[in-house]
Structure 1
């Protein structure tokens, strides 16, 4: 995932799909955690870790997480027992392979 492109796309998306401040804070935290994982498609992190990091109580955190899920910014899959949920940040950009324009003739 290209962090800068994702960040820019996120803020562009907010114009059409706004979020609460707490949801924005949570999204940034999840992006930072996902960066630490090396941009794995799916990653786990305990709610207690996130709530401590961004200083939200559990109910506010859950509302923000639900908001991100409902508006299509993340997927979150709960697991049984004391296992941390599995998160997936939805890519807001499409990354393409670059094609060099240097092969195009100047005669065109």
Structure 2
């Protein structure tokens, strides 16, 4: 399974990438590679302030093509499948009240 490495330097970028509308959690990955919906990927995610990355497997559930009508970058949304490190919970704790923000994210 292909692994993508994501490094978040601050919570603002994490907020823009987090897909809170997905029940299991998910992250948007900025990439110019093309993936199909349902494609399995492994993510290695380094959260802001963390020393070690956390691994999670997922499936592509969102596509933002190049030259989309929004200002969002090209990439894919990956819904978490095997979240044994509780990445969703860690992200939501880190983002806290930002989750209710009206600020646009890369997906919605």
User: TM-score if structure 1 supplies the norm length?
Assistant: 0.29
Indicate the structure with greater strand content. Answer: 2
TM-score (norm 2): 0.29
Greater helix fraction, Structure 1 or Structure 2 = 1
